[in-house]
């Protein structure tokens, strides 16, 4: 490929909205261009990377015995209505009507459609198990599309679904996907962690996420270096310390006129945040709850929603807070409150803490759960934190940020029951088929690879995903000797099956080198003044130094690396 012909609009500066390395570099290297929030086009170099990423996934899926098929992105409403997700997806789903006013959506994920396909195509229990997959475009009207292709409204997903007729069968299908995912992400050169994940409203018996460790990750992972426990904080179990057995002191209402923030109130009492209990009023699908955690803790809304058996919870509107507490926002407390109280386990072990008084500018001190209020639900509803106790071995938990690139999930019979995917067993009895689902976000993988493989000059592609494997740069294209040696090297590499670029542009060498460093081509062969002696410079993008060698050796060295 000639660089002079390649559509590669490299930029000196990325647009201001690009906050993270992968977004900045994908824009600057001319891999993508933006059309709307969370909607991108892939330019030639970007598409090659995407296709390489896809190829790795496809190869590992096929090796694991999964069969590829392809479903439409335009889907009739009926299947999603049967499973209840037509409503549950809410605004995340792109909906449209056809000319006859029939409801359709652009598929956000395809559990229902695969289930329906198996209903239509498999008739005997003897045919199971199956693992089916597709690499296909998904649509989700995300609340906050951001970070370039990390979270978009249109994205490519590899989604696989397994269909078994026994729990053991599901375990095997799941294990095959687990192993395939490990090989896939290893080949992408990613440093990742496999963590226990929330199964939430989907039910199911087990689920794990593949998390690429990165400061820009939107998920928080709790892990233990001693016993290797690791979980998404949505799932990580919080262990509460010893109960405080101090004597219960008399409750006392205190006016706290000028103190607004928890720090100000703490300073007023001469106490710390952990001596308080925070009361947050939540709306769980129309019902209000008062939710209690220790003053220095954070409520985990996923845990909370699961315990309340709803899909989502949100902080209540200020007007609702005022109505239930009879006070301005900021003074809620559990004592005398008329709505149900949900208390974190830890709160129940505390003594003599401070809470809001349900009265503007007032707090109550020396509150004790066993004496002063009744919690309807007591459970683990807080975020685990650095330094907390590991729920498995008792040592210390650490936390890190992760980018979720893949998710595997033992679904069970949720969709087979909802849609009627049954098999008739040997005894003539009908049973629901047992399912698993397995997703990889392909565009997000590309962004994650860049997050972990870049430097101040640009991207450093792992060989398997690089858009081109080598670039040959004649320093002066007007010099016949240089150009012809560069062309010879390029041809030899091409003939050996290497995807190679020759930089035939009449530009200063510095400009050319900058572009290839930014784009991240793994091997660069520079043909300069020593071309007359048959000597070239061989340099790897990942290394600082170059080596002088004969053109033949450069080709050989490149081939041994690329064809490995
Ligand atoms: P997230 O919590 O990040 O929204 P999710 O739990 O909704 O992800 P799944 O429904 O499990 O994701 O989808 C499978 C995979 O698809 C995810 O692991 C992720 O890699 C990818 N993915 C999900 N949403 C997006 C998106 N908006 N843009 C790009 N990739 C996505
Ligand atoms: Mg999502």
Residue 410, ligand 1, Cβ within 6 A: no
Residues 172 and 64 placed together within one structural domain of the fold = yes
**Ligand 1 center from residue 460 Cα (angstroms):** 25
CATH number of residue 141's parent domain: 3.30.930.10
390 located within any domain: no
Q: What's the number of domains the chain is made of?
A: 3
Domain assignment of residue 217, yes or no: no
User: Looking at the chain, how many residues does it have?
Assistant: 564
For residues 495 and 428, membership in a common domain is answered with no
Which of 410, 411, 439 has most ligand 1 atoms within 8 Å of CB, for mutation? 439
Distance 355 CA to ligand 2 centre (A): 35
Task: Name which residue sits closest to atom 30 of ligand 1, judged by CA.
Answer: 441
Q: How far is the CA of 403 from the centre of ligand 1 (A)?
A: 10
Structural domain includes residue 6: no
Residue 231 forms part of a structural domain: no
Instruction: Give the CATH number for residue 258.
Output: 3.90.960.10
My answer on whether 154 and 199 are in the same domain is yes
In a domain, 4, yes or no: no
- 395 is written with which tokens? 């040592």
Cβ(441) – ligand 1 distance below 6 Å: yes
CA of 421 to the centre of ligand 1 (A): 26
Q: DSSP string of 98-150?
A: -TT--EEEE-S--HHHHHHHHHHH---GGG--EEEEEEEEEE---SS-BTGGG
18: preceding bond cis by omega (within 30 degrees): no
Which pLDDT tens digits describe the chain residue by residue (564 residues)?
A: 999 999 999 998 988 899 999 999 999 999 999 999 999 999 999 999 999 999 999 999 999 999 999 999 999 999 999 999 999 899 999 999 999 999 999 999 999 999 999 999 998 899 999 999 999 999 999 999 999 999 999 999 999 999 999 999 999 999 999 999 999 999 999 999 999 999 875 567 799 999 999 999 999 999 999 999 999 999 999 999 899 999 999 999 999 988 878 888 999 999 999 999 999 999 999 999 999 999 999 999 999 999 999 988 999 999 999 999 999 999 999 999 999 999 999 999 999 999 999 999 999 999 999 999 999 999 999 999 999 999 999 999 999 999 999 999 999 999 999 999 999 888 889 999 999 999 999 999 999 999 999 999 999 999 999 999 999 999 999 999 999 999 999 999 999 999 999 999 999 999 999 999 999 999 999 999 999 999 999 999 999 999 999 999 999 999 999 987
Label each residue of 509-520 as H, E or C.
HHHHHHHHHHHC
The answer to the question of residue 505 being in a domain is yes
- Counting ligands in written order, which one lies closest to the CA of residue 136? 1
Q: How far apart are CA 153 and CA 231, in angstroms?
A: 27
Q: Are 433 and 473 in the same domain? A: no
List Cα–Cα distances, 84 to 75, 87, 89, 107, in angstroms.
15, 6, 9, 14
Of all protein residues, the one whose alpha carbon is nearest to atom 19 of ligand 1 is 441
201 with 156, same domain: the answer is: yes
CATH code assigned at 541: 3.40.50.800
Task: Tell me, yes or no, whether 271 and 352 share the same domain.
Answer: yes
Q: Last residue of some domain: 423, 450, 477?
A: 450
- Quote the ligand 1 centre to 192 CA distance (angstroms): 16
Q: Looking at the domain assignment, is residue 21 inside a domain? A: no
For ligand 1, say whether the CB of 405 is within 6 Å of any of its atoms. yes
333 and 474 in a single domain? The answer is no
Assess whether 122 and 268 both reside in one domain.
Answer: no
> Would you call 544 helix, strand, or coil by DSSP?
coil
Predicted structure pTM score:
0.93
Q: Are residues 53 and 202 in the same domain?
A: yes
Could you tell me if the CB of 152 is within 6 A of ligand 1?
Answer: yes
**Structural domain of residue 269, as residue ranges?**
252-379
């Amino acid at each position: 490929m000639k660089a002079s012909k390649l559509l590669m609009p490299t930029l000196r500066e990325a647009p201001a909205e690009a906050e993270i390395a992968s977004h900045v570099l994908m824009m600057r290297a001319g891999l993508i261009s933006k059309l709307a929030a969370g909607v991108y086009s892939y330019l030639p170099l970007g598409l090659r990377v995407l296709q390489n990423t896809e190829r790795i996934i496809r190869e590992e899926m096929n090796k694991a015995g999964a069969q590829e098929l392809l479903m439409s992105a335009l889907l009739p409403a009926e299947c999603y209505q049967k499973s209840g997700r037509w409503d549950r997806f809410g605004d995340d789903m792109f909906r449209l009507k056809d000319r006859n006013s029939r409801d359709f959506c652009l598929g956000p994920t395809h559990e229902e459609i695969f289930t329906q396909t198996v209903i239509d195509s498999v008739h005997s229990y003897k045919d199971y198990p199956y693992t089916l997959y597709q690499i296909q475009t998904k649509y989700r009207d995300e609340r906050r599309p951001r970070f370039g292709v990390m979270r978009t409204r249109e994205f490519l997903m590899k989604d696989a679904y397994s269909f078994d007729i026994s729990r053991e069968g599901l375990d095997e299908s799941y294990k095959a996907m687990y192993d395939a995912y490990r090989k896939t992400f290893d080949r992408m050169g990613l440093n990742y962690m496999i963590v226990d994940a929330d199964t939430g409203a989907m039910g199911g018996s087990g689920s794990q996420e593949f998390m690429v460790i990165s400061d820009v990750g939107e998920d928080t992972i709790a892990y233990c270096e001693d016993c290797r426990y690791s979980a998404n904080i949505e799932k990580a179990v919080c262990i509460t310390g010893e109960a405080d057995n101090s004597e219960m002191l008399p409750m006392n209402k205190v006016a706290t006129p000028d103190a607004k923030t928890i720090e100000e109130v703490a300073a007023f009492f001469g106490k710390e945040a952990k001596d308080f209990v925070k009361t947050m009023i939540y709306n769980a699908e129309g019902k209000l709850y008062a939710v209690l955690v220790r003053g220095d803790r954070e409520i985990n809304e996923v845990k909370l929603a699961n315990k309340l058996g709803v899909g989502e919870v949100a902080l209540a509107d200020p007007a609702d807070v005022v109505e239930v507490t009879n006070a301005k926002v900021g003074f809620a407390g559990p004592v005398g409150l008329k709505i149900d109280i949900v208390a974190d386990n830890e709160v129940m072990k505390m003594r003599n803490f401070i809470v809001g008084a349900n009265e503007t500018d007032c707090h109550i001190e020396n509150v004790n759960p066993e004496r002063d209020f009744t919690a309807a639900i007591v459970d683990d509803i807080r975020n685990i934190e650095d330094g907390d106790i590991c729920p498995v071995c008792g040592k210390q938990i650490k936390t890190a940020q992760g980018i979720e690139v893949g998710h595997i999930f033992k679904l069970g019979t949720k969709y087979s029951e909802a849609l009627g995917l049954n098999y008739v067993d040997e005894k003539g009895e009908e049973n629901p088929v047992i399912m698993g689902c397995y997703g990889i976000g392909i565009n997000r993988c590309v962004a994650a690879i860049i997050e972990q493989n870049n430097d101040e000059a640009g991207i450093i592609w792992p060989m398997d995903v690089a858009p081109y494997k080598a670039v040959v740069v004649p320093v002066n294209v007007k010099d016949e000797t240089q150009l012809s040696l560069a062309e010879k090297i390029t041809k030899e590499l091409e003939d050996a099956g290497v995807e190679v670029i020759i930089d035939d542009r009449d530009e200063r060498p510095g400009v050319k080198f900058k572009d290839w460093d930014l784009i991240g081509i793994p091997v660069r062969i520079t043909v300069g003044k020593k071309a007359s002696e048959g000597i070239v410079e061989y340099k790897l993008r990942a290394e600082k130094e170059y080596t002088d060698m004969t053109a033949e050796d450069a080709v050989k060295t490149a081939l041994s690396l690329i064809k490995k």
